[in-house]
Amino acid sequence: KVLNKTKFHKKGDYEGIEYLEGQVVVSKNNGSLHFYDLQTKETEVIKTPLTISNDVEGLCYDHQERMLLLACKGQNTNILREKTVKSIYGFSLDSFKLLEIPVLDVFDDELIEFVETTSKDQSKTELKKLKNRVKAFSPSGIAIHPVKNHVYILSARGSTLLILNEKYNIHNIVFLSSNVIPQPEGICFDAEANLYISTEGQGFSGKIFKYNYQKQQ
């Protein structure tokens, strides 16, 4: 049940949330970051070069690099109108500025190639469906595994979970059941490395799914 409600700013299309050193950071789809201090109850708004065209959807904290990762489902700022790449930008907590070059880019061609390589036992019909799902890949959430440091990027479109290793190479692509988890929008890990995925429900009640961490995997 709801334990508490706090108003941190005006109404808006807020998409990502992260706890950071006594602050709650909330990202807006236009790229602005809202730092809400839990002690003073005040909010500092930082505007980044990102805009509504970039459409920020996901937010997470990379503690190793001391930066926030912002996952965009819109266009790349350096590749105008390019729809075959989705970018993840970094916001440095040292300089308090957005890094000009994306931390990583996810290209459709790489996703399709991975599916073709790892799904050779699938029928042509099923393979085509999987390829269409990764073509629709569009970040809706992002999180970093607290043990392996793998980057987990969720896509509501296609109900897909992309897992990248520490070098940002594709480690795995998980196709979620669209019947069980329609429109997955949120993702995070707890201190025990258990995975949580939330869904808007597409007309049904929103749900949160928990996946227990298994060390052998």
Which pLDDT belongs to residue 119? 92
Which pLDDT belongs to residue 79? 54
Which pLDDT belongs to residue 217? 46
Nearest of 193, 191, 209 to residue 201 by alpha carbon: 209
Please report the beta strands in 85-150, taking only residues with DSSP state E, as ranges in sequence order: 85-92, 97-98, 104-107, 139-144
Note down pLDDT in tens along the chain; length 217 residues: 889 999 999 999 999 999 998 999 999 999 999 999 999 999 999 999 999 999 999 999 999 999 999 999 987 666 554 668 999 999 999 999 999 999 999 999 999 999 999 998 999 999 999 999 999 999 999 999 999 999 999 999 999 999 999 999 999 999 999 888 888 999 999 999 999 999 986 677 889 999 999 875 4
Which pLDDT belongs to residue 160? 96
Each residue of 45-77: pLDDT tens digit?
999 999 999 999 999 999 999 999 999 998 766
187 by Cβ neighbours in 10 Å (0-12 / 13-18 / 19+) ranks as: buried
CB environment 144-158: b (16+ within 10 A), e (fewer): beeeeebbbbbbbbb
